[in-house]
Structures are given as C-alpha cells and as structure tokens.
Structure 1
Amino acid sequence: MDTRQDEMRRDLDATLQARKELGKEYESELVDSFLAKLDARLDARLDARVERRVAERLDGHGPAEHLRRRRFGRSTSKLPLASLVLGIPLTAIASDGGNGFSRFMGLLVCWVGIVGVNFAAVLGERREQQRAESSRGDWD
C-alpha cells in the first residue's frame, strides 16, 4: 500500500473512532469532514493527471509557455523588439548630416545590419529547434 492509501485509512479510522466517542449526534459532521478530505485528495490527483497529460500533449512545454509561443510566434528572443526600439535612434543618427547620398548609405548600413542580426537570430533558433527535434528518440 502506498502512503496516500495509508493516510486515507488513518483518516477513516480516526473518523470512526471519533464517531464512537462522540456518538450519533455528530455522525453527519464527521462523515462530511471525511468526504471533504477525500474530495480534496481526488481533486489533487485529478489536477495532477490533467496537468501531466496537457504537458505531454504540448511536447514538454508547460501550458503558459505553449500559449506564449502561440500568441507571440515561435521566437523566444526579445531581439526583434529591441531592434525596433534601437532602430529609431540609429536611423536618426545615420541620417544626420552629410549630403543626400551619405544619409542614404548611413540608413542602408544601419537597417541592413539590424535585419541581418535578426535574420541570423531566427536561423540560429531554427537550427537549435531542429537539433532538439532530431535528438529526440522514437520513445520520447
């Protein structure tokens, strides 16, 4: 017998002993108390089982992680947002001063760099994900 069954058996024995000592007047309260403990235990076991099955269906990611990935895309990096935030002042700096051609070249270099960094990050994440998927065996 496992410890949970032992605990329930002890709780039942204690309830029966209390009924013997207190008499029939308290029988309904004692039964209600025991059933409340049993309900709580069953709820906890059911919650654990559901959580385990949800985790299995989500390929090992917790529910919050799965929802976040669905909502914000597969990228877990904050790099795209940081790039856009930093792109605004970099654009201002790159386009400041000089003639029209030098401004254009400054903007071009700035944004090609930002796009390149983001592209490299996405490729790196995809390669990492493919490696993780290929390293899983048939039994995972």
Structure 2
Amino acid sequence: MSFSDTGLDPRLLRALCKRGFTIPTPVQLEAIPKTLEGKDVIARARTGSGKTLAYLLPALHRVLTSQPGAGGSFQALVLVPTRELCEQVRAEGAEVAGHCGEGVVRVTSLLADSGQALRRAVAAAGHLVVSTPGGKL
C-alpha cells in the first residue's frame, strides 16, 4: 500500500514524494485513514516509526480541504507535552506544508507565557498551531 491509498490530498502526496516518502509505516497505515474518517486514534510505537506524520498529515489534509477559519483563526491544533517536541512537530509540519505551495498552509507554534503575547500570537497564527498545554490556549 502507498500513501496514495490513504485518501490524503494530492498536494500532500506530492509533498511526501518530494521528501522521498512513498510507503507509509505501519502506524501511519493504521492511523491516517481512521483519522481522516474523524475517528480518535491512540497509537503507541517506537521512536522513528512515523507517529508525527501519522497525526500531522490528516491535520494538514483537513486544513487544505476546508474553508479558512473565521477571523483569521487557526484551523487545527496539535498539543504536545514539551517545548522541545513542540518545535520538532512545528518544523516537521512546516517542512511538509512548504512542499504544498508557498503560503498555502502556515504552521505556527505558540509557547508564549503572557496572556497579551499569546493573544497576539493566536491572532497572527497560521492554519495549524502546535502548542503545549502550558501555552494556555
């Protein structure tokens, strides 16, 4: 089975191909179709097994195939437990989104601790926001 069998937006398929990904890992193969159907997925797998793309690709798919958020608000939120993971996930999302076209999808991380800074960050946020629970969304 290839990524094209998962039902992902063609722009994501091209982005994956440009990055050299053609065959989904087992965790991606199980998670992506279920997530695209709107089902909740809990996955446990080793480091390097493709978990990040297993949840980022459906989130990016939803952003690419839906109407923009009202008032410039973000369309998808990914919560991760640490600041370090937040940056890693943001970078991975931005890398994939960058291959979908210039400015088509903006991926932002929010780590601001002050209320005012956070409000400004959310107002200027991208389509997909990666944050920690401590980011006080």
- Larger helix fraction of residues: 1
- Larger strand fraction of residues: 2
The structure with the largest alpha-carbon Rg is 1
TM-score range, shorter chain: under 0.3
Question: Which has the bigger relative contact order, CA under 8 A and spacing at least 6?
Answer: 2
Tell me the TM-score normalized by structure 1.
0.21
